[in-house]
Amino acid sequence: MNDRESALPFEQSLGFLVRDLNRAIQRNLQARIQPSGATLGAWYFLRVLWEEDSLTQRELAQRIGMQEPTAVIALRGMEEAGWIVRERSETDRRKVHIHLTDTGRALREALLPEAKAVIAEALVGMEEAEVDTLLSLLRRARANLAEPAPATPPHATPAAKARAAARRLPRSG
């Protein structure tokens, strides 16, 4: 087998395809929400706050998967836009709670339909059962990687690598 045959072509790489799809979704979403003044960074914070208002900066950053110092910068912009207020906790002065303003809450009605339109566009030509299967498979793949797998030594035989991979597969039944 030559190097070309053993390579992982982009069109066969789950990581590449998921990343490429995510980038396309983000590009399309950004184009649709930009007229409201929202950025993708703000979008992710708003999505969480629409579901659960009054989180601390730390909780919000963790839910989005962002470092807290980076979150502070994004939240400052959202505060300047009038979408949130930051309020220091009276019981623990180290904590800052984030609250949506009426303007921030109202963005939900304008932005969620745009996000749904992007998703609908991505799913054009798929049957409902196919969409259900796609989402189920993506959730399963995400769950498979939620816990770091034990490393297989790079010099392990193909059979040892296959056994290690099999141990990581979810059990059915």
With a cut of 60, say whether residue 173 has pLDDT above it.
no
Q: Is the separation of the CB atoms in 38 and 77 below 8 Å?
A: no
Confidence of residue 137 (pLDDT cuts 50, 70, 90): very high
Weakest-pLDDT range from 114-123, 146-155, 163-172: 163-172
Please count the structural domains in the chain: 1
Weakest-pLDDT range from 20-24, 114-118, 161-165: 161-165
Domain that holds residue 113: 8-124
Q: Does residue 75 sit within a domain?
A: yes
Confidence of residue 10 (pLDDT cuts 50, 70, 90): confident
Q: Does residue 38 sit within a domain?
A: yes
Q: Does residue 157 sit within a domain?
A: no
Angstrom distance (rounded) from CA 84 to CA 63: 17
Please, what is the average pLDDT of the chain? 87
Considering only CA atoms, which of 55, 25, 28, 60 is closest in space to residue 45?
60
CATH of the domain at 28: 1.10.10.10
Q: What pLDDT, on a 0 to 100 scale, did the predictor assign at position 6?
A: 63
Q: Does residue 60 sit within a domain?
A: yes
